[in-house]
Structure 1
């Protein structure tokens, strides 16, 4: 029967930090993590229930206290309970309202254990799966099945949002290599590459979507447009969507813009150089994300101890490969860069030798 959120947590013996804003809880002995799941983000795929909370209004809920606590609890489940957690089902009053408000009635699932399949430790986004056979349909019907047969209509948004930014990157590579697809040329918008080249956004998303649904995607599977997962996820991958008639402009590339590092230049001798503007761009993005600059290795905050000009001690390091070791032009994203204090930067370089 439907219960209040406090009662649902108590059913599993879990204690939330604050029943007013907690989205998860843990039992005192740590043997079980309990997570609230939105009913509309659950769907059935074969004999599995899938929960997908990736790329869905992340900016709205990611900063909230409930997400911080849930991330800690999901990490605990992953590290101590093989990723398994118990479930409380919540129903949104209005699916279009952001941030969401839940109805007062909540539902436990006595037999269901979900298993974490993906966790973004930066944002708290996650996916999980569990057996359909363990769903208690006494109060709630089993979530809808995804139809991927010949007569399938548009796929649910929860399925489309399983496309990850890295899949967009892979889809672009496949498209450029001549991969066949069933999508036509765009009529209104283009995906803009850093080189200025324009690609069909729906085709790129469709190629990426095929990885998720296990078959070639069709134009009828989804729509492309503003507010739709297609455009949202492409832009999350760092590629602007621009009107076909719009002229190129550098401002199209925001915090996920790409640059080219490691190009050879003759300055008395051949040497490697960093892409101009990439370091300050990374710092600006970092401040936008965290509010201030600090070292990602030792967590020192120079501006606190050194005053106004302390930020000058923070340097930008390529976290995967030193620029000097790059072979030819290499596309770098801000996510590939790391803010380090001068001391840690030198230590890291020594470690890379």
Structure 2
């Protein structure tokens, strides 16, 4: 299925389960909520990279010490991937860890972050099987979300496009897709994913296609996690890729309309949140409703295939918006206010 026709919204209207990280000893483990969706069931994964593929994981929903937990059939087998590690590899994200190091490293780096939760659509099959379709992912110490549905469909489109995949990574792409078609949970998937992510780090066009923001707008959770992030310096290539995603959010008609509607409901009018300039007062009917939208998340912390939260957006007049982007790094809202007020 082409990413242009992804069924993200339809999937969100079906039964869902959250697989959530919880601290346990030194490493942490994953629970499933609500309990009855996976309890006593073998977890199968619809990877979306290939519509025909289905992956049988070695994970079951169990009760341990009175709590719902995901348990592996072979927990010590390092030649296969656990469910969160498998989803990260399928999504061409860096390798996650289970130990909370007190902060997440952004942009995401291998073994520099913990997956705090993955939301799946669930279809129960018979008495002991559950087919899970990935919807979204959260990172520990960050309140953002990755649109897995959009990203996984794009990966399938990208890796099957000979015009976008260079000759040097065709074998890795073929191996990656082949393992998925076979329903493999082998750690070879991680090896292929690492090769492909190294390529994407050098190919701005392919990375821009893959990392584009999702179409779903989400609300910030009421009890958002406290930010504890380490923002590492971006390379020039990383900056270019992040800027493409940033500008796509800023310029999205759908996102712009939703933010303006939210602001009008709260304030009764549309004006610059920094200098209070109102285009309708200056230009009359021609300026009615005109404003620019700015995404305030730091480039380094912008997640790939991010889901947009309206509270991460700022309405700015053209002058203020241009000043924010005039030099790297962008001005933060507080820095902009300090200059102009």
Q: Which has the larger radius of gyration?
A: 1
TM-score between the two structures when normalised by the length of structure 2 = 0.28
Higher share in helix: 2
Higher relative contact order (CA 8 A, sep 6+): 2
